[in-house]
Homo-oligomer: A and B are copies of this chain.
């Protein structure tokens, strides 16, 4: 129970919607879910903590958006269609303006993806947001169509969706480490605070991609999980990755506000991108582009999978990175 408002009043006022698809939603001891016949349930939990995942003064609407977006991004990485989620929320006090903003951002994104809030918990404590999200993935002839981290094979192409490094650019500017013009900061900040989970792309890649994950900690570090779980290595063209930094950010590069080394760091190890990294056989190049068009989401080929373990970074013309840039492979 919270001080100013009982737990149940709060749930009723800000978070209760009529039940759409779930058998039973908010208000009983459990929510009840029934996956459609032939469907498997994909489940993921993420916890967001103030000071670590967001600033204390973040716009609550943006925070509500991001809290669900990072979970939907996990579903996207599995190729799952979003169904429902639970929300557990610890709040220092029941601030109605904050709750209105937070629930507004959360439920707007939920509605956009047909993802129902079906249950949860509210309690008094340091601000903490824990969401568990549910999606469904088809099982065909007894085989799950989920995209896993373990399916990459030597020779596969390596792709990334959308853009990389913009969220980190915003973070460094907000930390005062980089001086950005206000309109550029505003654009970068949208990428940090309101990431776009690549839900449609994940589903379009079922049966096309051999492995996939979503990028939360940075491209090279996250890619390491695919390499470890697939028992393979990879070669990444670092300058292909740099070119994925959003076009709006280029004035900062051109002006010299951001060094080449920082550009590489933001693109390769920036974090908070919430793009998909995935692999696919060379024979599936047309199918990958068709999936990208179907999902209206750009994808870029940035390297390939090797039989040899480890990660190799290449420069623009295929040469190994050297000097101060060579150290980026320690992120993997």
Contact = CB atoms under 8 A, between A and B. Distances in A.
B47 A42 contact: no
Interface residues of A, number: 62
A24 B2 CA distance: 37
A28 interface: yes
A214 B126 CA distance: 26
B47 A128 contact: yes
B40 A119 contact: no
Contact of A31 (B43, B89, B149, B214): B43
A43 B52 CA distance: 28
A34 interface: yes
Interface stretch (A96-104, A133-141, A156-164, A239-247): A133-141
A187 to B, nearest CB: 28
B51 A125 contact: yes
Nearest to A48: B123
Interface in A244-266: none
Contacts of A134: 43
Interface string A68-99: 00000011011010000011111000000000
A132 interface: yes
Contacts of A214: 29
Interface of A: 1, 8, 23-24, 27-35, 40-47, 49-53, 74-75, 77-78, 80, 86-90, 118-121, 123-126, 128, 130, 132, 134-135, 137, 139, 144, 146, 148-150, 212-214, 217, 225, 229
